[in-house]
Every structure is written in structure tokens, then in C-alpha cells.
Chains A and B, each alone.
Chain A
Amino acid sequence: MEAIDSLLHGLTIAMQPLNLVYALIGVLLGTAVGVLPGIGPALTVALLLPVTFKLDPAGSLIMFAGIYYGGMYGGSTTSILINTPGESASMVTALEGNKMAKAGRGGPALATAAIGSFVAGTLATLGIVFLAPTLVSVAVNFGPEDYFALMCVAFITVSATFGDSPVRGLTALFIGLVLGLVGIDKLTGQPRLSFGVPDLLDGVEVTTLAVGLFAVGEALYVASRRHLGEEQLEPVRGSLWMTAKDWKRSFWPWIRGTLFGFPIGALPAGGAEIPTFLSYSTERRLSRNPEEFGHGAIEGVAGPEAANNASAAGTLVPLLTLGLPTSATAAMMLAGFQQYGLNPGPLLFAERPDLVWGLIASLFIANGMLLILNLPLVGLWVRLLAIPQPWLYAGILVFATMGTIAAKPSVVELSMLVAFGVMGFVMRRFDFPIAPVVVGLILGPVAEAQLRRALQISLGDPLVLVQSPMSATLLGIALLALILPFALRGMNRFKASED
């Protein structure tokens, strides 16, 4: 019951007044950006990185986690009321949720999303409490070759296995890896891909890349498609409260959604989309009234919303115990740790237990705050959607510029911001996923360092990568995850030509 002791100790830290304030700021910001279309939690954390540089690490990390959780709550509001999912993980919620809102049942849809998020968030955070120490005790024995192999698994699962197109996912990853090469090599001091530009010697700023891809790219994309028509805001009509029948129909989908979301998020298996789709199709199959699906079935909101939140919590497990980000927001949180010189992993649990457990405990508090913020106060958040789109995006770009200049005040940096923005626009237009670029930039240099360390220890013998059973297994999994989508695709084509 060591985990319980650690958690209780963490609670005493999370309950400190200043940390409560940070958590509250985090969940408020997170809900706001989740509700507003066009900005997500990853962008918000990116914008806040330079701002929080001088603040207390524990406080800022608690705030970032609040933003992550809050973004997941707020995203559902937008999907239900205007059918424009703020992020792909809320796509499924929009399917049934928007239909419910159109049928005048927007209130119960918002309620089941909020309560489901709370149930899932709480259960999944309990999952972190018990799973994290176990993983840490395994990870303590990891050598550099094991870490390298683990990162290979993350690279492949984040980019190739679960996207629409493995080729486009891997392309996005490699662009991130290329950006990770830029700058002075930490082991030898050699400048790489800097082309004599002094601004590039420090490497590509994570903030600039993320803000360019997410804020500028999104603004360009939305502006370029505005003539195609805008979405209507569906007013919340009728009662906000769920009936007894709604509760009964929502309960098991919440639980099942959590059971899908947490493990898939916790294994480095590619984001929140998969569990939401799994949960949706499961609920559809198990429902007593499957004919309601597609016309506003409450199960189709309850399950995916729970899955969504549980997987967000799940991604914190590999992030905290192994330093492995498996979503864009987790990648930005890793950048947040790195800016304080902290490296998530087993060592962090040993060296800074106060920080790690304070962060985990604050997740429970954030969840409680979010339930209150989202149930009785949902009307306030909906008003945010009334901000006219031109001012919203103009404001987003002003803050994007501010975040970039604050991180590195130079004209070169601003030009890079715009270049990344254009890249983000092209990637959206041609259906390349964005998250692998960010993960590649952040994790690429770490993976290279681990590989080179492993080969230095083995005096240059590459067999070290397959001699450790852990590393060999992980590399096998990575290879399998790389080949599988192509193989399946081949089989699909085969089947299609058979018909």
C-alpha cells in the first residue's frame, strides 16, 4: 500500500493554497480552450511554456495537467453544441451529441459527457496511482538500449499504426525528426543543419513549432475554407438534468469507456481516437435500442466521452514513468518538464516524489473542479462560442506571436513560426497528421542520445540492441507495428478485388 501513502503525501502538496490556485487556473484555461474551436490543450501548453519559465515547476506542471484534463471536458461541449469537434478525440461525441442537441436534449448530453468524464477521469487517475509504481520498478532496470527501443515503439505507434495512412504518418514523424537534428550536437558540439544561421544553433524551439503548426496552421486552414459554410450553434434547450433513465443508460457505457480508454492510453498505442471509436461501436452493438444510434443515443455520448478522458489520463502513465509522450499534449508537457531540467522517468519518482505525487494527486482535485465548472456553469462556457470568429482567430494569432517572441525574441524565430504555420496548413490540407511532428522533434534527440550512449557502453557493438531481452522484444513490437498496417492494407485490397 505504498502507492496509497505516496498519494496521501501528494494530496498534502496538491492541497497547498498556491497549488490549488494553479490547478484552478489550469482547469479554467483548459475548459475555455477546449470549448473554443481552433485552440486545443497542446497549443495552450505551448503558449504557456515561455510564460511559466520563471514560475515554480510543481505549480506549472499542475496547471498544465489541469489544462489537459480541462481541454477534454470542454471539447465535448463544442462537439455537442456546434458539431465542430475541437480535436479528433471528440469526433465521436459529435455524432450522437449533436443529434441530441438538435432534438432538444442538449442538456442531458452535456451532463452525461461531464459526469462520464468525471467518472472516467477519477477511475483512470486511480489507475495511474497503482500502475505507475509498478512500471517504475520495471523501468529502473532499463538500460539506454531499452529506452531507445521503447522510443522506437512510440514513434511507430504514434505515427503509423493507427492513422489513416501509415505513409503520411511516418512522413510527419520524419519531418519532426529532421527538425530535431537542427542545432549543435550535444555529444560532440558539431552544428548540424544550421546552415550558418546563429539562431538555429540552439535547435528548433518546441514552442515555435507547436504554435506554428497548431495556431497559425489552423487559422490559415479555417480561413481558407470559410467560404464552404459555417456551423450553427445549437442552443441548449430543455432541462439540463439527466432523468433516471438517462443515468441507467449512461452508467455502464461510462465504465466500459474507461476500460477501453485507460489501457490504450497507458500503453504507448496512439492517442485518444481509437478508444473512443471502440467504445462507440461497442455501445452500438450492446444497446437495447440500436436504432437510436445516429439519431441521438445517450450511450453514444457517455461511452466515448469516458473513453476520451480515461485515455488522456492513461497517456500520463508512460509520460511520468518513462518520459514517453504519446499525444501532442503529452509531448508539450514533456517539454514543460524539460524546461525545468526535469526528466520524467523512474529517477524522477525517486528524486522528486513530492513533485510527481503532488501532480498525480492534483489530477483528482482538477477532476472535481471540472465537474463543478462543467455541470452548473456550462451556460457560461457556451457564451464563449459567441465570440465572433474573426476576432477569435485574430486574437489567437496575436497570442501565438507573443508566445514565440517571448521564447526567443528574434525575426528569424518569427519567420520560422510563419513557415511552420504554412507547413501546418499544407499538412492539414493533404491529410498528414500533426502530432507525430511534435513528438518527433521532442523525442528524436532523446532517442538519438540513448542509442549513442548504448553504443558507447558496448564499445560500438550494435548487437547490444538485441542482446537485452527487453530491447529485443520492444524492437520486435516496433517492427511488427510498422509492418502490420501495410500488411492489413494489402489484405484489404486483396479482399476488395475478390468481391
Chain B
Amino acid sequence: MLKSGDDAEAGEAPVSAPDISEDRKPDIEALVIAAVLLVLALVIFWDTAALQLAATYGLGPKAMPYVIAAGLGVLGVANGVLAWRGGFPPRETIDIKAIVLILGGFAALIATIGLGGGFIPATAILFAATATAFGRRAIHIDLAIGLVLGVAVFLLFDKLLTLALPAGPIERLLF
């Protein structure tokens, strides 16, 4: 929420203005969302139709997916109409670099765990990547903090509460 000295606005209940304003342009990004919803509806139809079933009493497992897919299709169209008429609220610019950093951190985490690197180093990478995304410029310190946090979490949850967290060389060496 941006800071504003706008006192007149403060008392208004946030009941939105009518969704559709006539003078706004088609919203391409929102149209993509509508398209994704329609594709999802089609995927559900296709997946459900492919089910091989013996006869059942009453409602089988196919009925609900069809209903939900139909509803999703209708909503996809409705979202498309809204997007076409500019019915989505205005959006601010985004910092793509921050998003790429966080998602990159997650990708590295998944790769580390998938390749057997263990929970602690994976955690350290995610921690440092996220901190950098939020504007920190001290990657070595953040990696160190991430390692310490990873060790602490591993000790608390894997050893004390006996949850199974993925172990790699560091975990096996230390504990």
C-alpha cells in the first residue's frame, strides 16, 4: 500500500467501482489468464473423458469434473470479457529481477535436494537468493546466515521432532 496523505479517501469503504469501465483498453496480460483458465477447463474435460469406468450407482467420479470444467469454462469467458473491457484494477510496475532471484533460489534448492545435496546447503542458497532479491548486497554473510539457520532448523525438526528432512553429505557428516 502506498503512503498517501489523502484523508478524504480514508473513510470510504472499499466497495469497488463497477468492474467495467467503457474507456479502458483490452488488458493483454489478463486475457492470457482467461486463456489459461479455458485451457485448464479443456484439460479437465479431456482427462475425465479418458476415464474407463464400470457402471456405478448414482453419480460417478466423472460428473463433478464435468461440472467444474464447465464452470471454469464460463469463468474463463467472463474473465476474458472483463479483460477485454479493461475491468481489472490498474497494476504497478514490477521488479522482474527480484522475482527471477527468488525463483532462481527455489530452482537451485530443488536441484540441490534432487541431486542429494541435502537440506542445509539448499536452505542456505534459498536464503541468500531471497535476501538479495529484497535488496541485500552481502551474499557471503547471507549464505553464512542461511547455513546457520539450516543447521538450526535441521536440528530442531529432524532430530528433535523426528521429521524426515532430506539429508546430504553435510547432514551425514555433522549428525
Which chain A residues have a beta carbon within 8 Å of chain B's beta carbons?
50-51, 54, 83-85, 91, 95, 99, 164-165, 167-168, 170-171, 174-175, 177-178, 181, 185, 187-188, 190, 192-193, 195, 216, 219-220, 222-229, 231-232, 277, 280-281, 284, 293-295, 388-391, 393-395, 397-399, 401-402, 405-406, 409, 411, 414-415, 417-418, 421-422, 425-426, 429-431, 448, 451-452, 455-456, 458-460, 489, 492-493, 496
Contacts and interface: CB of A to CB of B under 8 A. Distances in A.
14 contacts: A164-B16, A220-B102, A224-B94, A231-B1, A280-B13, A294-B10, A393-B131, A405-B166, A418-B110, A429-B94, A430-B30, A430-B91, A489-B18, A489-B19
B102 A219 contact: yes
A460 B57 contact: yes
Nearest to A276: B13
B157 A226 contact: no
Contacts of B61: 185, 187-188, 190, 192
Nearest to A495: B18
Contact of B11 (A95, A170, A174, A401): A95
A195 B47 contact: yes
A414 B110 contact: yes
Contacts of A489: 18-19
A280 B15 CA distance: 14
Interface of A is mostly: helix
A95 B11 CA distance: 8
Interface string B120-158: 001100111011111110000010011001100100010
Nearest to B18: A493
Given A225-B95, A456-B57, A414 B3 contact: no
Q: Lowest 9 CB-CB distances: which A-B pairs, in order?
A: A390-B134, A455-B58, A223-B98, A394-B130, A390-B131, A185-B61, A224-B94, A406-B163, A456-B58
B11 A397 contact: no
Given A192-B51, A293-B11, A409-B165, A418 B75 contact: no
A452 B127 CA distance: 46
Interface in B153-173: 153, 157, 161-166
A174 B47 contact: no
Nearest to B40: A178
Select the residue from A187, A277, A280, A401 with max chain B CB neighbours within 10 A: A401
A91 B10 CA distance: 11
B99 A398 contact: no
Contacts of A460: 57-59
Contacts of B142: 390, 394
Select the residue from B13, B18, B29, B102 with max chain A CB neighbours within 10 A: B102
A223 B102 contact: yes
B20 interface: yes
A422 B103 contact: yes
B110 A411 contact: yes
A219 B57 contact: no
Contacts of B71: 170, 174, 177
A425 B145 CA distance: 26
A431 B89 contact: yes
A394 B148 CA distance: 13
B130 to A, nearest CB: 4
Contacts of A492: 18
Contact of A224 (B3, B16, B99, B119): B99
Given A226-B135, A231-B3, A460-B57, 8 more contacts: A167-B19, A188-B53, A192-B48, A228-B92, A295-B7, A394-B142, A395-B127, A460-B58
B65 to A, nearest CB: 5
Contacts of A411: 110, 113-114
Given A401-B109, A406-B163, A227 B95 contact: yes
Given A188-B61, A294-B7, A294-B10, A178 B72 contact: yes
Interface size class of B (residues with CB under 8 A): 35 or more
Contacts of A417: 106
Given A188-B56, A394-B131, A83 B1 contact: yes
A406 B157 contact: yes
Contacts of B20: 493
B64 A224 contact: no
B33 interface: yes
Nearest to A461: B58
Contacts of B59: 451-452, 455-456, 460
Contact of B110 (A281, A402, A415): A415
Contacts of B19: 165, 167, 489
Interface string B1-41: 11100011011011010111000000001100100010010
B10 A402 contact: no
B84 interface: no
B103 A418 contact: yes
Contact of A164 (B1, B14, B30, B58): B14
A430 B98 contact: no
A174 B72 contact: yes
A50 B158 CA distance: 12
Contact of A219 (B16, B89, B110, B130): B130
A413 to B, nearest CB: 10
Contacts of B16: 164-165
B123 A405 contact: no
Nearest to B68: A177
B42 interface: no
Contacts of A165: 16, 19, 82, 87
Contacts of B109: 401, 414
